[in-house]
Amino acid sequence: MSCKYLYYFTEGNKAFKGDMITMKNILGGKGAGLAEMTAAGMPVPQGFTITTGACTQYYTDGRQINDEIQKDIFEHMKGLEKITGKTFGDNRNPLLVSVRSGARQSMPGMMDTILNLGLNDEAVEGLAKKTNNPRFAYDSYRRFVQMFADVVMGVSKSLFEDEIDKMKAEKGYKSDIDLTAEDLKKLVAVFKKIYEDNEHKPFPQDPKVQLIEAVKAVFRSWDNPRANVYRKMNEIPYEWGTAVNVQQMAFGNSGNNSGTGVAFTRNPATGEKKLFGEYLINAQGEDVVAGVRTPSPISHLKDQMPAVYDQFTDIATKLENHFKDMQDMEFTIEDGHLYMLQTRNGKRTATAALKIACDLVDEGMIDKEEAVLRVEPHQLDALLHPQFDPDALKKAEVIGRGLAASPGAACGKVVFSAEDAKAWKKNGEKVVLVRLETSPEDIEGMQSAEGILTVRGGMTSHAAVVARGMGTCCVSGCGEITVDYDKKQFTLGGKAYKEGDYISIDGSTGNIYGEALPTVPASITGNFGRFMEWADKVRTLKVYTNADRPKDAQQASDFGAEGIGLCRTEHMFFEGNRIKAMREMIVAENVEDRKKALAKILPYQQGDFEGLFEIMGERPVTIRFLDPPLHEFLPTKENDIKDLADDLHITVEKLKDVIASLHEFNPMMGHRGCRLTVTYPEIAEMQTTAVINAAINVTKKTGKKIVPQIMIPLVGEAKELKFVKDTVVKTADKIIKDSGMDLKYEVGTMIEIPRAALTAGKIAKEADFFCYGTNDLTQMTFGFSRDDAGKFLDSYYENKIYESDPFVHLDTEGVGRLVKMSSEEGKAANPQLHLGICGEHGGDPSSIEFCHNSGLDYVSCSPFRVPIARLAAAQAAIKENRAKAKA
């Protein structure tokens, strides 16, 4: 099969025997659809598909179509001539074809198409005679020259458009429709001249040359910049390549009994079961896109061409029944005859996706598991956040664009510091916090803001990660903004926005608006709950959440979180008086002073934990002990240092010495995580005390058995974990013994350092659980810091060295190998060990599938990712079950 590069539409259904997945992989989505429709006896202009394998071969051969494939193409053209009774390049009855891309997954508008191919100076005359319609023939020819020049040769479209405009002006025409056959004939001559001037050779008259060049152009368009961007966004591997469909032309532009259109079997916005679409009379596909004329709703066709309409609705129903999904179809009507040009599963909104999935189950078309597979997990996100009013959005001007870092819509007055955000919020103002970048000290301000806009930082920058965790809208990395903190204003697109000015940001698109836009709450329909129930039924992976605060825990719980997989305690050190005590601890010169300062933090921490335990009840709450290097808690600005020194009653010099002594060359790989406990066991003692006291109190208060999970970060060696664990156990057991209560707790570790994964067998003997911290594990395994990688990763994407951000999608080859190895060896050494993941990947569907397949017990993600993770986990389970059933 691998050496067969071409398939007639008539061959596909037999060759792949209904295995749609393989068929799509080889023929592309469009080719597969055409083959299926052909087999079902539907009116399809015939043709053949050049496979995705031929595209790969084209790239392997250094962007050349090799002789074997060229020969094959021409043989298939001969065959097509037989089928159609027309002849390629003939001057009486010429065979004209379209040449269109068609990848495995549809990439609408991303790649190139050439229509009317086969026309030359002789064939155009033949077409004119045969159709008795010279205007149509020359219109087709001028379209072809223009499209070929643009798509195949890269000659600017505007050169041609300008000539049409010039002629229209000369003649006083209003519309292209006014151009006569003679006008169009002249235009063809002018167009060919333009082509020749630009290409230094005449417009190719040989249809074979036209065809090969067109196929090459489509292959090439697989690698054009917008396709690359789309692919990266949609996680479509570069290796796949595109198929090419060569298909006899059906002419929607041959008169008023012709036309072209697009329709969906159900409404793609709402999911309503009703044909939805539009069409244009006397037009080719590109006219619909160009928007020169306004298309009519598909329902009008019923009156205009009732027979065609009935035939089309009949076909639409059959196609939906055949593919058991909502179809997105292209059709052309030529002289009253309907031709189907394409059918594919239609793209739809989240709301529509849920409704269609539920309806299809109710209609008995698919079962519940199949329904669960039908909704893209990422799509659910749109249902969880407020959105801008679509009507307001239509009129609003986008003033800039950043990364869609945390979804949702936010509108508020601009402020430039975390303190201001807090203060303004207190005064009842809604604010958007604008920062060069955020830091842990900004947490409270970030909580006070409706949305966060940053100049620097990517999808995993501090702002992005924290905002997603909070469910707050965030647009990050809008590099076009210049911020002037002193003047309290920022400039974007040449305009200045001052403190107090309204802006709106859309965290789902990255768009920035220089005005106040109204928002509407997301509508969660009844289908959502029903659908998630089906998902939960089949899912085996548990879904926990990363939550540091009761508010977040409650949100996650509402979204169905089954536990807390990661509570980062460092956030708890930044607020109000805590940061002061924390700083006292850091400058303390001996254990006693450190303990004194820690004692001040204890009641706060304990209170925080009690809040979490009360919400989560008997569900596991995993508390990670202090992780960041201590210098993160100290100020960096001269003024703040002075204030702090005064506060702590020490000299500025002394404080600066402390800060200098904490300086690290590579803080990521510095004195942090459990390394802090090894040097200052009293920190772990305080945190253990807070956890255990809180568990005891909440158990007493609620009667629920709280079983806290204590998680030690950054472990790289079994003895290290043992050392820290000994400290924890000694402290905990004493408190429990004194309390007279029978409290259970677990001590586990993050696996986030390669060495931990490599020595997991030993570490597992000291651990109740492993939780993969795949953010750090990815950094260490790749050897690049996510804060710095932005500078060079773009070059990596451009050169296809990496195709996706390893901080978004777990790298299964490298990082994943460590995860697999260590979970197997960990389980072997300690069968009681439970395994989870709590990096950003815990909310990424493809990574969740990997976690399911690697035998992990749970994933933990930010609250707003919980429903997504539940669905992704369900899909992974279904896929695995199906693969097993097949094997």
| Nearest one of 291, 337, 289 to 312, comparing CA atoms | 337
List contacts with a second copy (CB under 8 A). 664-671, 675, 678-679, 714, 716-717, 719-720, 723, 752-755, 758-759, 776, 779-785, 787-789, 791-792, 795-796, 799-802, 811, 813-815, 817-818
d(CA 287, CA 728): 71
Q: Which is nearer to a second copy, 64 or 508 (CB)?
A: 64
Is 752 annotated to bind a ligand? Reply is yes
Cα gap 741→698, rounded to integer Å: 12
Nearer to a second copy, 255 or 667 (CB): 667
Q: How far apart are CA 827 and CA 797, in angstroms?
A: 36
624 annotated ligand-binding residue:
yes
Kindly calculate the radius of gyration of the chain based on its CA atoms and give it in whole angstroms. Answer: 32
d(CA 357, CA 373): 9
Which of 830, 729, 847 minimizes the C-alpha distance to 770?
830
SS (H, E, C) 522-549: CCCCHHHHHHHHHHHHHCCCEEEEECCC
Closest CA to 446 of 456, 437, 458: 437
Q: Among 559, 513, 565, which residue's Cα sits nearest to residue 542?
A: 565
Of 115 and 463, nearer to a second copy (C-beta) is 463
776 belongs to an annotated ligand binding site: yes
Positive or negative torsion for Cα 662, 667, 673, 675: negative
Asked if 274 and 264 touch (Cβ cutoff 8 Å), the reply is no
* CA 298 – CA 514 distance, rounded (Å): 38
Residue 775 annotated as binding site: yes
> Which residues neighbour 311 within 8 Å (Cβ) at sequence distance 6 or greater?
43, 338
For 230, residues 6+ apart whose C-beta sits below 8 A from its C-beta are 107, 110, 236
Q: Which is nearer to a second copy, 158 or 482 (CB)?
A: 482
> Are 244 and 100 a contacting pair, CB within 8 Å?
yes
Q: How far apart, in whole angstroms, are the C-alpha atoms of residue 437 and residue 815?
A: 28
Closer residue to a second copy in complex, CB, 82/791: 791
**Residue number with CB closer to a second copy (230 or 796):** 796
Shortest Å distance, C-beta 222 to a second copy: 17
The annotation status of 844 as a binding-site residue, yes or no, is no
Pairing, β 276-281 against β 259-264:
antiparallel
| Closest distance of CB 496 from a second copy, Å | 20
CB of 814 to a second copy, least distance (A): 4
Least distance to a second copy, CB of residue 627, Å: 12
197 is in an annotated binding site: no
Q: How far is the CB of 527 from a second copy (least distance, A)?
A: 42
Catalytic residue among 385, 462, 809, 852: 462
Shortest spacing between CB 678 and a second copy, in angstroms: 5
Active site residue 337: no
Residue with Cβ nearer a second copy (168 or 755): 755
Task: Report, in Å, the least distance between residue 787 CB and a second copy.
Answer: 4
| Nearest distance in Å: CB 641, a second copy | 20
Q: Helix, strand or coil for residue 12?
A: helix
The one catalytic residue among 473, 838, 851, 861: 838
List the 97-103 sheet strands across, edge first: 6-8, 47-50, 242-248, 97-103, 113-117
> Bridge-partner residues for 481, per DSSP?
none
Q: How far is the CB of 757 from a second copy (least distance, A)?
A: 9
Q: How many CB atoms lie within 10 A of CB 180?
A: 13
Give the Cα separation of 364 and 354 in Å (integer): 16
Partnered with residue 710 across adjacent β-strands are 623, 747
224/759 with CB nearer a second copy? 759
Q: Is 589 annotated as a binding residue?
A: no
Rounded distance between C-alpha atoms, residue 483 and residue 757, angstroms: 43
Q: Given the complex with a second copy, which of 502 and 782 has the nearer CB atom?
A: 782
Q: In 3D, which of 45, 17, 51, 1 has the Cα closest to residue 31?
A: 51
- Is residue 300 flagged as an active site residue? no
- Binding-site residue numbers are 568, 624, 752, 773-776
Instruction: Indicate the annotated binding residues for Mg(2+).
Output: 752, 776
Q: Catalytic residue numbers?
A: 462, 838
Residues of the binding site for substrate: 568, 624, 752, 773-776
